[in-house]
Amino acid sequence: MAKQPKLVYQSWKANNKFLLGGRLIFGPDAKSLIITFTLILVPVVLFCVFVARNLVLELQRESAGYAILVITIVFTIYVFILLLSTSATDPGIVPRNSHPPEEVLGYDSSASVETGGRPPRFKEVLVNGLPVRVKYCETCMLYRPPRCSHCSVCDNCVERFDHHCPWVGQCIGKRNYRCFFLFVSSTALLCVFIFSISALYLKLLMDDSGTLWKAIQESPASAALMAYCFIALWFVGGLTGFHLYLIGTNQTTYENFRYKGDNRVYNRGCIKNFLQLFCSRIEPSKINFRSYVQEGASKPPKSNIQETDINISDGDTRIKVEDDLDIGDDIMKISQRRNSEEIGDVRGRGSDRSPIGRSEVDFGFGLESQLSSRPSY
């Protein structure tokens, strides 16, 4: 009886967890979703029972009480949908190679495997006229696209890696950053809404009882909700403001903390940066987790990142980006073979040089630009 082939998600090497036959992909700490769900649901339920319901009775001659109750329920459902979309979505995982690259500036993977050698750790590319180093990932056996980083929690290389969020149990990257920002900002608005309506209810009670203390004694839940929302707003509100700054300057959390905000490679202006996030199409996942695993040994990849020039907008001065700045997106299609003096004896291809092709690269949130190759030094 022939052995039934496995699906990709069933043989996935990273730490992700899958549900519904690979349709939903979570991080290894997906259980933290229960805590996040509870922290949102419990105060909303208390608000509906002890505040909104009483407002319906207080304002029974008007429809404002029912409107408050309906808005609360609908807005909470919307927040939960954003939470699930952020947590159960492929954040932009880069497919890992089954073999090291065949050629990287003269690096021969077959010879290296036998001798125990390693490919060059860094490669340099030009992004908007600025030199940027990309790093080789030994786990995924590829040169990371610019702006890509390897998450130690999920064990994946993620495009436009922002951070790993324990509250949603997932990496935040190219494909789910929009949902993450909308979730955080919507949660902040929900806190403001509950805080305001609870304060309004206390005001109505104070008008009847005469003092604030008597109003609090009559509805302690309103005071507790106001205190809870005030504390929560420091976190989700502050996080919303921080990510508004990151979006306006086209940075990621990783870049901002690692390089102290000194990253002008992708900044196209505040308005264009916001349009890039909210108006661009989210790319489909590069991995079909429900497809069958291709059996048999595959050949080592023949192409890798080579020094290239990405023209996006007018750059200022050429700024050297230090260390392993992981900036950009899918730039894994361009390579240049060793010159005739370096590979003549090994490859036996004479003095011919392989032409370097041109291809389009899409990075960030879908911004398309062209890569033009440059000779290596």
Q: Which residues are catalytic?
A: 165
H-state helical runs in 48-176: 53-58, 64-87, 109-115
What H or E segment, with its residue span, contains residue 32?
A: helix 32-47
Strands 122-127 and 308-310: parallel
What single letter denotes the amino acid at residue 294?
Answer: Q
**CA–CA separation, 163 vs 150, rounded Å?**
10
Among 214, 330, 206, 310, residue whose Cα is nearest residue 266? 310
Q: How far is CA 213 from CA 46, 70, 204, in A?
A: 20, 29, 13
**CA–CA separation, 84 vs 88, rounded Å?**
6
What is the number of residues in the chain? 377
| Secondary structure of residue 302 in the 3-state scheme | coil
CA angle 289, 291, 294 (to 5 degrees): 110
CA 51 to centroid of chain Cα atoms: 37
Question: Would you state the structure tokens that stand for residue 109, as one six-digit string?
Answer: 């993977």
Residue pair 141/96 in contact (Cβ under 8 Å)? The answer is yes
**CA–CA separation, 298 vs 293, rounded Å?**
12
Bridge partner list, 133: 124
Q: What is the DSSP letter of 48?
A: I
H-state helical runs in 88-162: 109-115
**CA–CA separation, 348 vs 129, rounded Å?**
35
Q: What is the DSSP letter of 123?
A: E
Q: What are phi and psi of 158, to 5 degrees?
A: -120, 130
Q: Residue 164 contacts by C-beta under 8 Å, 6 or more apart in sequence?
A: 27, 151, 153, 154, 170, 171, 172
